Amino acid sequence: MLKRAALAADPARMHADAALTEAPQSDGQHLCCTMTSVLLRLVRSRGGEAAVSAVLEWAHSKHDAPYLENIENWVSLDEACALLEAGAHDTGEEMFARRVGEEMLRQHASTPARRSPR
């Protein structure tokens, strides 16, 4: 359902004489859990704890709900995509990922970062 691009950087160099180096490993810390916390809240509001458990199982999540609801934690891109797919499957909403994004914007619209002038 969701497309995943290959996660690799082009081997470009600033100077022709520069050596190519490997990108540092991220240990699966690609996205902070702000998205997963909103996702689980939406799933829970629709189907309760049973729905949350079903989504985590369907996504083969490496983490439990408390971990995913703590916005200081991080997940891999693959896990985030799997959770979005599982949420769409559980709710039956084709646009579930968009709904998660809209809720994230609503949730953070009144934060100091949002109110600061650019």
Residue 46 belongs to some domain of the structure: yes
Average pLDDT, the chain: 81
**pLDDT band per the 50, 70, 90 thresholds, residue 109:** confident
Does residue 1 form part of some domain?
Answer: no
Neighbour-count burial of 96, counting CB atoms closer than 10 A to its CB (0-12 exposed, 13-18 middle, 19+ buried)? buried
Classify residue 91: in a domain, yes or no: yes
Region 85-110: mean pLDDT is 91
Residue 27 falls within a domain, yes or no? no
| SS3 at position 31 | strand
How many domains does the chain divide into?
Answer: 1
Q: What is the pLDDT of residue 63?
A: 96
* CA distance linking residue 65 with residue 52, whole number of Å: 8
Average pLDDT over residues 42-52: 96
Residue 52 lies in a domain: yes
Check residues 44 and 113 and name the one with the higher pLDDT: 44
Taken in order 14, 20, 21, 26, the sign of the CA dihedral is: positive
**The pair of three-digit structure tokens given for residue 76, joined into one six-digit string:** 């891999």
Is residue 59 within 8 A of residue 79, CB to CB? The reply is yes
Give a yes or no: residue 58 inside a domain: yes
Nearest-angstrom CA–CA distance, 92 and 94: 6
**Residue 31 — very low, low, confident or very high, per pLDDT cuts 50/70/90?**
confident
Is residue 100 included in any domain, yes or no? yes
Range of the domain at 86: 35-110
Q: Who wins on pLDDT, 2 or 91?
A: 91
Q: Is residue 80 part of a domain?
A: yes
